[in-house]
Amino acid sequence: MKTYEEINSRIESGEAVVLTADEIIDYVDKEGLDKAAAEVDVVTTATFGTMCSSGCFLNFGHSKPKMRMSEVWIDDVMAYAGIAAVDAYLGATQLRHNDPANMYYPGDFRYGGGHVIEKLVAGEEVQLFALSYGTDEYPLKEIRTYFTIDDLNQAIMTNPRNCYQNYNVAVNCSDKTIYTYLGELKPNMANLTYSSAGQLSPLLNDPLYRTIGIGTSVWLAGARGHVYAEGTQHASDCLRGDNDVPMEGAGTLGLTGNMKKMDSEFVRGVSLKGYGASLALGVGIPIPILDKEILRHCTVRDSEIFAEVIDYSSTYPERGGDIVGRVSYADLRSGEVELDGKTVAAGSMSSYSKALKISEILKEEIKQGAFLLSKPIRNLPVNQGMTPLDVRAQGEKK
């Protein structure tokens, strides 16, 4: 048994034993759980993938004369300005003004909020256009200027839903091609798409949220960030395997961090044909090995993590409950899986290679004493369900 304080003091003195979630599997196989739990201080987990519920709060500073910006566009992408005078929230999936979307199906969605965020993090110049109705103390009604992230007072990435614990595998059982947030799915189950870092993924290594909670320090695209809330749609009351690992979506994290400190390698605009624009993000989360059980969960491997295969031509849009099957991430990563007696080509939407790189970067930062762990101030709920939206008449009871 170790405490956060003990682990942090070993990190500060440069003595901490840190392994990635990839390395820990073989290490425990070789050394045994007891010995490894005594030796290892931290296991680093990571993920890199499209996380649509991402965005940032920006503060532009005041122009002369001042303006209460009520409508804001950055590079022609609208940011939400229904907050204080020169603050705005730019969301990853916001489309550029005049983007024809799916009017000419399938749309290309070449530039949106996620691309603006990537440009900002890369230090590139973007255009600000803002309108206002004008008030006595904020008389300016229109502004067009250019800025970089360095010109902003604050750029705070604030993502209500990141790091999905597990995720659907998408196939298309219909007889025509469909375009989804999991890519192009060819008819008759010709291909499928999955999206998880599997054995590297943060919440798959801490399936019952024992160390990842509100207040946990995270590596957010190179910056120090933290978990500020349970993520939206956090649904921990789900089907789990004997290893406690969810077999469906399950938990999510609300993450925030200083965007000015981020590295654009890990903040990437995404264009999904026929679906929309988004942002791919790299996240690393250290797991303190406080006891044997926490370590045992960290030894989870792709062959022991299963995901549900869902038909995105019918079941998914209709909110049905049927699944086509269950497959392991080991099978998915082999490039093809057997489903209903058919061999289906498997593609991934999240990047295992970037996740691996992040787990190694975080490991080095911890070993060098540059990244300390923080104990959650509150745990994430373990038995929480998810309510669907009912369409009802005004005043009608459920």
Is residue 273 a contact residue for another protein (CB under 8 A)?
yes
In 10 A of CB 251, how many CB atoms?
A: 28
Tell which positions 202-231 bind another protein, by CB under 8 A. Answer: none
CB of 335 to another protein, least distance (A): 7
Is residue 184 a contact residue for another protein (CB under 8 A)?
yes
Question: Quick one: CA dihedral 320, 324, 326, 329, positive or negative?
Answer: negative
Binding mask 280-299 for another protein (x = CB under 8 A): x-------------------
CB of 48 to another protein, least distance (A): 7
Residues 6+ apart with CB under 8 A from 16: 7, 10, 41, 42, 366, 367
Binding mask 129-168 for another protein (x = CB under 8 A): ----------------------------------------
Is residue 333 a contact residue for another protein (CB under 8 A)?
yes
In three-state secondary structure terms, 11 is helix
Q: Which is nearer to another protein, 2 or 333 (by Cβ)?
A: 333
Scanning 123-131, 211-219, 341-349, 373-381 for contacts with another protein by CB under 8 A, the matching segment is 341-349
- Tokens for 144? 């067009």
Q: Which is nearer to another protein, 48 or 167 (by Cβ)?
A: 48
Q: Which is nearer to another protein, 168 or 216 (by Cβ)?
A: 168
Question: How far is 336 from 82, CA to CA, in rounded Å?
Answer: 47
Beta bridge partners of 336: 345
Is residue 345 a contact residue for another protein (CB under 8 A)?
yes
Taking a C-beta distance cutoff of 8 angstroms, is the pair 367, 220 a contact?
no
Is residue 191 a contact residue for another protein (CB under 8 A)?
yes
Is residue 272 a contact residue for another protein (CB under 8 A)?
yes
Q: Which is nearer to another protein, 21 or 346 (by Cβ)?
A: 346
Q: Which is nearer to another protein, 210 or 268 (by Cβ)?
A: 268
* DSSP character string of 381-394: PSS---PPPPP--T
Question: How far is 89 from 372, CA to CA, in rounded Å?
Answer: 29
Tell which positions 107-136 bind another protein, by CB under 8 A. Answer: 110
Indicate left, alpha or beta for 330 from its phi (over 0: left) and psi (-120 to 50: alpha): alpha
Tell which positions 48-107 bind another protein, by CB under 8 A. Answer: 48-50
Torsion on CA atoms 229, 235, 238, 242, rounded to nearest 10:
-10
In three-state secondary structure terms, 188 is coil
Binding region for another protein (CB under 8 A): 48-50, 110, 183-184, 191, 193, 268-273, 278, 280, 333, 335, 345-354, 356
